[in-house]
Chains A and B, each alone.
Chain A
């Protein structure tokens, strides 16, 4: 699966989790830019991504994604890495 294909799947997951059909993912987006992206929906987002893309996030990775400097781009990079090496 290419990065673009993964990106479109991730975008679909975001739309489902945040219940916003118009949501367009951009690499620089952070939790502040997505309405409703808080600590609880972050976990729901992780669960949905794991299910859709058949991957598994580590505890350290889940929290690292919420740290300053992390954004949708770093999330996509991580998903791409995980898809290339299935759990």
Chain B
């Protein structure tokens, strides 16, 4: 079931109308759990997928409980290696074929939302090991992982935030205006997904189908359409989905983190990843970049500045691969790592030439802010060419437009 579907929206509105008539928090929790299970049952999950889900949840809870009681770095590392290796095999990553026997890759495992569950699981066990999660309750953990408002595509909520919200389940919309605003957000989300994103996608596929045979100025014009249409589609589709689930969750007393905060106003790529799919950007920062950079800087303190760039590349390359199992996602990640590193180099150059006061002045200039925003959006749109197409097609798109520009 799609969250923008009529069934989902009407079901949600009907549920929200009666939800708070349930007397106790426990009754509301049970009701929410039933909704989550029903929602999961409407999703694409096959037999092996259900088995994998059980193993995934059981291992996550067991590891989290064990690590919060006996914080062991070795146990955490072993669990993370097994978890990520299993994910890579289940997702059939391109490079896995040469590493494992083909019999291992035979079973077709279909399980919706596995990528997002993985991120939540890694955060959960790391925080448990580091003493950031108090008592782990199996009930809260299961609801956290299977929460219908984050199951399909995030936002990637932190366990502590979910547990706090789930433990209270009281109305979070303070007055009538807030409720009306939430309904508005819900319907705007539906319009984004079913209207704006659908139109952008239709136009994108239409242009894409004729692109490989176009000539002359048409190639340039079609390239421009492709260049803007796919990011527009992705933005409307994903931010619309987030509007629906965040609004829907708040109608049932759950607070979900924001995932899009005006990403196209970002001045550089580092800022963009705190505005576009921001829960992923913050996850990358907290569980990939910072630990990696910290480990490198501790080992080689004198080279810490240059090692930060290496950490950006590795963190974004891994994040890119998480998006999909083919090489184009690695290119997407590396290009984003390059963009973040370039932003840091640029900032460093300004400080070197004009000092910190000069940087402040530079950042306050409206003209520079506009130029930085335009450059950031366009670079991000460029990286998305590799997100939407395999490497061969992406190279073909770029080759054709560069040939058309030269001739």
How many chain A residues touch B (CB < 8 A): the figure is 14
Bound CA span A63–B356, Å: 24
Contacting pair B132 A58 (CB below 8 A): yes
**Interfacial chain B residues near A44, Cβ < 8 Å:** 297, 304
- Of A36, A39, A43, the contact of B297 (CB 8 Å cutoff): A43
**Interfacial chain B residues near A62, Cβ < 8 Å:** 286, 290, 294
Contacting pair A63 B282 (CB below 8 A): yes
B92 within 8 A of A: no
**Interfacial chain A residues near B282, Cβ < 8 Å:** 63
**Interfacial chain B residues near A40, Cβ < 8 Å:** 293, 304-305, 308, 344
Bound CA span A39–B286, Å: 11
Bound CA span A61–B290, Å: 11
Q: How far is the CB of A66 from chain B (nearest CB, A)?
A: 9
Contacting pair B344 A58 (CB below 8 A): no
B131 within 8 A of A: yes
Contacting pair A59 B130 (CB below 8 A): yes
Q: How far is the CB of A70 from chain B (nearest CB, A)?
A: 14
Contacting pair B132 A60 (CB below 8 A): yes
B243 within 8 A of A: no
A72 within 8 A of B: no
**Main SS of the interface on chain A?**
helix
Contacting pair A59 B290 (CB below 8 A): yes
A76 within 8 A of B: no
A35 within 8 A of B: yes
A46 within 8 A of B: yes
Interface magnitude class on chain B: 20 to 34
- Of B285, B293, B298, the contact of A63 (CB 8 Å cutoff): B285
B264 within 8 A of A: no
Interface centre among B270, B290, B297, B298 (most CB of A within 10 A): B290
- Of A35, A36, A47, A63, the contact of B286 (CB 8 Å cutoff): A63
Would A47 and B127 be within 8 Å (CB), given that A63-B285, A63-B286 are in contact?
A: no
Bound CA span A60–B133, Å: 10
Contacting pair A63 B305 (CB below 8 A): no
| A57-87 contact mask (Cβ, 8 Å, vs B): 1 or 0 | 0111111000000000000000000000000
Bound CA span A63–B290, Å: 9
Residue ID in chain A nearest B270 by CB atoms: A39
Bound CA span A44–B304, Å: 8
B138 within 8 A of A: no
- Of B127, B270, B293, B344, the contact of A43 (CB 8 Å cutoff): B293
Q: Which of A16-49 contact B (CB under 8 A)?
A: 35-36, 39-40, 43-44, 46-47
| B114-158 contact mask (Cβ, 8 Å, vs A): 1 or 0 | 000000000000110011100000000000000000000000001
Would A59 and B298 be within 8 Å (CB), given that A40-B293, A40-B344 are in contact?
A: no
Q: Which of B347-401 contact A (CB under 8 A)?
A: 356
**Interfacial chain B residues near A46, Cβ < 8 Å:** 294
Bound CA span A39–B356, Å: 15
B291 within 8 A of A: yes
Bound CA span A40–B303, Å: 12
Bound CA span A75–B291, Å: 19
Bound CA span A60–B308, Å: 19
Contacting pair A36 B356 (CB below 8 A): yes
Residue ID in chain B nearest A57 by CB atoms: B130
Given A36-B356, A43-B297, A58-B127, 15 more A-B residue pairs with CB atoms under 8 Å apart are A39-B270, A39-B285, A40-B304, A43-B290, A47-B294, A58-B130, A58-B131, A59-B290, A60-B160, A60-B286, A61-B130, A61-B132, A62-B286, A63-B285, A63-B290
Which 10 pairs across A and B sit closest by C-beta, in order of nearness? A58-B130, A63-B286, A60-B132, A35-B356, A58-B132, A59-B286, A40-B308, A43-B294, A60-B127, A43-B293
Q: Mind listing 15 A-B residue pairs with CB under 8 Å?
A: A35-B356, A43-B297, A47-B294, A47-B297, A47-B298, A58-B130, A58-B131, A59-B127, A59-B287, A60-B158, A61-B130, A62-B294, A63-B282, A63-B286, A63-B290
Q: Which residues of A contact B (CB under 8 A)?
A: 35-36, 39-40, 43-44, 46-47, 58-63
